[in-house]
Amino acid sequence: MTGGALLRVRRLPLDTGRENVAFLSARCQALRPEVFRGFSRVAISDGAATLIASLATMDHGDILEPDELGLGEPAFRRFGRPEGAQVSLAPAVPPESLDAVRRKIAGQTLRPDELGAIIGDLAAYRYSDIEVTAFLVGAAGFLSSEELLSLTRAMADAGTRLHWERLMVVDKHCIGGTSMIVVPIVAAHGLVMPKTSSRAITSPAGTADTMEVLARVDLDIGDMRRVVETCNACLVWGGHVRLSPADDVLIGVERPLGIDTRELMVASILSKKLAAGSTHLLIDIPVGPHAKVRDGHDAMRLRKLFEFLGDRLNLAIDVAVTDGRQPIGRGIGPVLEARDVMAVLARAPDAPADLREKSLRLAGRVLENDPMLRGGAGYARAAELLDSGAAMAAMQRIIDAQGPPPAQATLGRLTREVVAPHEGVVAGIDNLRLNRLARLAGAPVAKGAGIELFRRIGDRVARGEPLYRLYASEPFEFEFAGAAAERDNGYEIGAA
């Protein structure tokens, strides 16, 4: 409490990203804003709940009354109190777990309880972005095997833990994706696969972004259970059900900084699968010069790390190392990728053959977990379910159960074809560059933005022949993406 003064909560339509931000009017008489300028964070409390936030002052305008405390959208949502609720303001006491962060930066090994305290404070948004960065730098420097195990468990325990009344709950994670075909195939077979996925952070489309072209993905836990009980599976956004919420905080800071170690990536993936109640997990690791995993040696080290943690966490893990030299399918971006998925499920004659084949192979490996299926029969069973239309029917049931998407998504109206500068053979495709171009075009926020591929590795091309088509919805994004494609189109054209 600060002198017993109370303020009224006011919801402000401001997206402040990951951080909780509160706003105080410069005209406030009850609490002078300058009193708090020496403190980086404040504690907002109504006696029952407390929220830690950064404090900003509104110097001009009449947006806030003198007796109001404005909360940005993330802070208002996390505080969970209605507008008009009376709260007090006080300088926030720094989390005790920051002492453990400092020891980690100094190279010391942390105990399980210390890592648990750090993750608990992260999940409660008690850390500023600078403090999150400090922990990431310390963890990226060195994590012992036991620390990694404790970190993964703490991340899984910090949010919702789902439990399914099934002996086997299968799941799949791809470091770049075929889930929307694998999930309905597995569901049609009868295995349970509650698939939670992320929205894109640095890519032009996460599985949740693509599925949202077809159906609602922001389901709560009750709706998620209902869909799984009805359809054997779901394809939903994991952020809405708070699976490993500390991971979302860490990812939001580590990706822009380029902090992406094997250990942190494995903890991120397995903590969410553990929280989702999975018992059997397939990990797909695409390998290629422009993929996240560049060569076979790195893939082997990553596989062993997954297997080590899987054994200790009682997760049966199967790791598939696949070809990541070029994009799978023809589309990059939510609408284009959803179109590819539905073409494969509908057995369309022009469906991308590479997407179909990889999806069948991965689905077959998931199906091999079924003790009633003969060994080696997974691929044939997956193909049977796809070719008979059973997988498409399962996908339609999932779409119907999850409900319609929040808005209809269509392809961007602005298009531009990027052509080969000279004759030759496609010798290489820079996946990361194409992803960057699709994001410049507006994906995934603009679901119809992206890239439609025409040529793949090994194809002969003539000078001026289209390599791919850019789609955008807004003129300025269209111009950005087109100019960037002129500088570097992401294709290597070798001698004919």
- Which domains are seen in the chain, by residue range? 7-91 (2.40.40.20), 98-157 (1.20.970.10), 170-243+257-402 (3.40.1030.10), 414-494 (3.90.1170.30)
Residues 424 and 493: their CA atoms lie apart, in Å, by 6
Q: How confident is the model at residue 370 (pLDDT cuts 50, 70, 90)?
A: very high
Higher-pLDDT residue of 109 and 16 is 109
Tell me: pLDDT of 1 over 70. no
Asked if pLDDT for residue 223 goes beyond 90, the answer is: yes
Q: Are strands 68-71 and 86-91 parallel, antiparallel or unpaired?
A: unpaired
Nearest CA to 442 among 321, 335, 351?
335
Tokens of 279: 């018992």
Q: What is the mean pLDDT of residues 42-47?
A: 91
pLDDT at 300: 94
Residue 423 DSSP code: S
Query: Does residue 260 carry a catalytic annotation?
Result: yes
Report whether pLDDT(2) > 70.
Answer: no
pLDDT category of residue 328 using cuts at 50, 70 and 90 = very high
pLDDT at 395: 98
Q: What is the pLDDT of residues 20-30, one digit of tens each?
A: 899 988 888 76
Q: How confident is the model at residue 93, as a pLDDT?
A: 86
Q: Please say whether the beta carbons of 451 and 441 come within 8 A.
A: yes
Q: How far apart are CA 414 and CA 472, in angstroms?
A: 5
The catalytic position among 46, 129, 260, 298 is: 260
Looking at the predicted structure, is the pLDDT value of residue 259 above 90?
Answer: no
Summarised one tens digit per residue, pLDDT across range 468-491 is 999 999 999 999 999 999 999 999
| Per-residue exposure over 117-136, b if at least 16 CB sit within 10 Å of its own CB, e if not | bbbbbbbbbbbbbebbbbbb
Is the pLDDT assigned to residue 32 strictly greater than 80? no
CA distance readout (Å), 308 to 62, 149, 276: 58, 9, 20
pLDDT at 402 over 90: yes
Assign 3-class secondary structure to 245-304: HHHHHHHHHHHHHCCCCHHHHHHHHHHHHHHCCCCEEEEEEEECCCCCECCHHHHHHHHH
Give the per-residue pLDDT at 442: 95
The reported pLDDT for the residue numbered 279 is 97
Q: Residue 268's closest CA among 240, 309, 234? A: 309
Q: Are 381 and 189 in contact (CB under 8 A)?
A: yes
DSSP state of 169: -
Task: Give the pLDDT confidence of 169-217 residue by residue, as tens digits.
Answer: 999 998 656 899 999 999 999 999 999 987 776 688 889 999 999 999 9
pLDDT in tens, 141-180: 899 999 999 999 999 999 899 999 888 999 999 865 689 9
- For residue 61, pLDDT over 70 is answered with no
3, pLDDT greater than 50: no
Q: What is the pLDDT of residues 273-299, one digit of tens each?
A: 999 999 999 999 999 998 888 899 999
What are the tens digits of pLDDT across the range 85-140?
999 988 888 899 999 999 999 999 999 999 999 999 999 888 888 899 999 999 99
For position 145, what pLDDT does the model report? Answer: 94
Measured distance CA(213)–CA(219) in Å, rounded? 15
Q: Round the average pLDDT of the chain to a whole number and report it.
A: 91
**Percent above pLDDT 70 for the chain:** 95
- pLDDT number for residue 66: 87
Which two tokens mark 479? 């111009």
